[in-house]
Amino acid sequence: MLAQKNQEIADRDLARLLDQIPDSLAIFQDRKIIFVNQTFKEIFEVRDEEIGDGVDVLRVIHEDDHAAVLRRYQDRMAGREVPQIMRMKCITLRGKVLHCETSGKLIEYGGKPSVLIVVRVVQDRVEAEEKLRTAHEQLKATLEALPDILFEMDRDARIYSFRAPDPELLFVTPDEFLGKLMTDILPPDAAQVVADGLEEVKKKGVCTGKTYSLVIKGERQWFEISAAAKGDLSTKMGRVVCLVRNISDRKKSELALTEKNIALNQILEHMEKTKADYRQEIWNDFSGTILPLVRKLRSKASPDCLDEVDILEESIKMIMKSASGELTLSLESLTSRESQICEMIRNGMSTKEISDELNLSEYTVSKHREHIRDKLGLRGKAMSLSTYLRLR
């Protein structure tokens, strides 16, 4: 009787002590919860009367974890070693699911072997871990979707890790570049591009659009790098994430387009030269056949018909000018009358003075002046004919 009394006193003292502990505590015995502290009651929404002769332990364990909890409980009661911490889903007596972490210890309570369980709700931690896992999976999916090679290196361009969807595009094997300086691995031209990009990252935190080429397995490949700082580059833990994209197809297309443009420009230049030669040929034929006929006609024309011959010659030249495109006629292409009038204009003579000197009407002289301006390309320009001729 005395031993029983002492046990009851010890149990009450233990219960009072456990009620003072802020963690959620419970005592399991014969698969029943026979004691819970105040914190456990609040978290698992347990009323005092619901404890009674005990609550089946599975009532506070989510069905997903029933088997694991029973197996661990049996192992612990049998004295077998079990992991100290267990993560599980619990459920309150009102049906709310909680993510919990538990630890247990074999004790004697009420004169029987029992398990003292400490329960900590880790809901916030589980949600944070789930968000982190989701973010990690999204990042992993993003990286897997990218065709780029990824390098992580320090501020000195020493490579610590990499990811290569197509290992065939690596310049050397991982054993040859991990832990090494990228600038020591690449050829000088490519190494300089990487070094320039790294300096830009140190100053601005990011760099984009730098390109270089490498000969890989006998074929030239072009690459474009983009890089960004990861952490503080002024410390040893600072890193640079570098994405390397194969742009060989684009570069080859650009080179092919450049070659086509060069060829097209050569064709256009040839066409322009051919056109110019053709125009010159037209003018040469015109000068060697038609103009001599006009001059012969002038030599046989009476003085009264010379103006008409000049107008005829001028009209023929205008027709030939139109037929041969934008053929520019120099002063030498002017008729003799037009040349004579040009000389008078150069000497400062007015239209009336020229008219009187040549015994022509002012109207005829004015028409000659208009034709001269057309031939010299002065129509619509501010420069006067007299100024142009004096400059010549």
Q: What is the mean pLDDT of residues 206-224?
A: 91
d(CA 239, CA 338): 83
Instruction: Say if 268 falls within a structural domain.
Output: yes
**Helix 362-375 to helix 306-323 angle, to the nearest 10 degrees?**
20
d(CA 214, CA 23): 63
Instruction: Say if 182 falls within a structural domain.
Output: yes
Q: What is the pLDDT of residue 280?
A: 64
Q: Is pLDDT above 50 for 99?
A: yes
Q: Based on the domain organization, do 286 and 380 belong to the same domain?
A: yes
Q: Based on the domain organization, do 288 and 220 belong to the same domain?
A: no
Instruction: Say if 135 falls within a structural domain.
Output: no
**Which of 68-77, 128-137, 145-154, 275-284 is least confident?**
275-284
Answer with the one of 127, 161, 190 that is the final residue of a domain: 127
Q: What is the pLDDT of residue 326?
A: 43
Answer with the one of 96, 127, 158 that is the final residue of a domain: 127
Q: Based on the domain organization, do 168 and 113 belong to the same domain?
A: no
The string of DSSP codes covering 306-361 is HHHHHHHHHHHHHHHHHHTSSPPP-GGGS-HHHHHHHHHHHTT--HHHHHHHHT--
Q: Based on the domain organization, do 273 and 377 belong to the same domain?
A: yes
Q: Based on the domain organization, do 14 and 89 belong to the same domain?
A: yes
The string of DSSP codes covering 155-207 is TT-BEEEEE-S-GGG-SS-HHHHTTSBHHHHS-HHHHHHHHHHHHHHHHHSEE
Q: Is pLDDT above 70 for 172?
A: yes
Q: What is the pLDDT of residue 334?
A: 80
Instruction: Say if 138 falls within a structural domain.
Output: no
d(CA 225, CA 148): 9
Sheet holding 219-230, edge to edge: 159-163, 149-153, 239-246, 219-230, 206-216
Sheet holding 32-36, edge to edge: 55-56, 32-36, 24-29, 112-121, 97-109, 85-91
Instruction: Say if 51 falls within a structural domain.
Output: yes
More confident of the two residues 265 and 221: 221
Q: Based on the domain organization, do 232 and 353 belong to the same domain?
A: no
Q: How many domains does the chain have?
A: 3
Answer with the one of 200, 220, 246 that is the final residue of a domain: 246
Q: Based on the domain organization, do 273 and 364 belong to the same domain?
A: yes
Q: Based on the domain organization, do 191 and 279 belong to the same domain?
A: no
d(CA 138, CA 89): 26
Instruction: Say if 38 falls within a structural domain.
Output: yes
Q: Based on the domain organization, do 113 and 154 belong to the same domain?
A: no
Q: What is the pLDDT of residue 5?
A: 54
More confident of the two residues 275 and 341: 341
Q: Is pLDDT above 70 for 222?
A: yes
* Residue-range definition of the domain harbouring residue 233: 146-246
Asked if residue 150 lies in contact with residue 163, where contact means CB atoms within 8 angstroms, the answer is yes
CATH number for 190? 3.30.450.20
3-state DSSP helix/strand/coil % of the chain, to nearest 5? 55, 20, 20
CATH number for 383? 1.10.10.10
Q: What mean pLDDT, rounded, does the chain reach?
A: 83
Q: Is pLDDT above 70 for 81?
A: yes
Q: What is the pLDDT of residue 4?
A: 53
More confident of the two residues 269 and 66: 66
pLDDT tens string 294-350: 777 777 777 777 777 777 777 776 666 655 444 444 566 688 888 889 889 888 889
CB contact set of 86 (below 8 Å; sequence gap of 6+) = 68, 69, 72, 101, 102, 103
Instruction: Say if 139 falls within a structural domain.
Output: no
Q: Based on the domain organization, do 229 and 193 belong to the same domain?
A: yes
CA distances from 75 to 82, 87, 267, 366 (A): 7, 17, 91, 125
Instruction: Say if 387 falls within a structural domain.
Output: yes
Q: Based on the domain organization, do 227 and 270 belong to the same domain?
A: no
pLDDT tens string 20-71: 677 888 998 888 998 888 899 999 998 878 887 788 999 999 999 999 988 9
Q: What is the pLDDT of residue 208?
A: 92
Q: What is the mean pLDDT of residues 185-194?
A: 92
Q: Based on the domain organization, do 212 and 303 belong to the same domain?
A: no
Q: What is the pLDDT of residue 328?
A: 44
Q: What is the mean pLDDT of residues 107-112?
A: 85
SS3 272: helix
Q: What is the pLDDT of residue 305?
A: 76
Q: What is the pLDDT of residue 329?
A: 47
Q: Is pLDDT above 50 for 164?
A: yes
